[in-house]
Structure 1
Amino acid sequence: MYAKLQIIGMKDEQAAQTAEQALRQVHGVEHAQVNFQEGTAEVEMAPHLSTQLLMRALGEAGFGAQPLAD
């Protein structure tokens, strides 16, 4: 399964790395890539995961997030 998220609150590349690490730590995330310039994250994940869970992980890391259409 694939999800694309808009990430709110990234101020620099270090923040993007923090957001990416937060996503990768979610059990069931197979791949996560954050693009600082676009303010987005692309995530490959197990079918049982929801974007809500990803957004919660980002929230716990200090970022806002919302799903984007493909």
Structure 2
Amino acid sequence: MNIDKEQIIDYQKIDRANDFYNLAPGNNRYRPKQTTPIKDLYLARDYTLQPYFATMEGAVTSRIKAAKLIEDQNKN
């Protein structure tokens, strides 16, 4: 998949693993949603924004959310 760098409007790099996996209040802001500003690119892993942080259940929940977004997109 070729990504046109002109389409990237925002990004962030997390340098310290503790910032991302730390369960302290306020760290949810580092977790991305399943949608992205790039057409047809969706995220589905345990690190995405969903209720089960860094677990197998979280990975499955994220996949279901991403699949639903793709399904909804294809209905239109």
Q: What TM-score, normalized to structure 2?
A: 0.26
Larger fraction in helix: 2
More strand by share: 1
Higher RCO structure (Cα 8 Å, ≥6 apart): 1
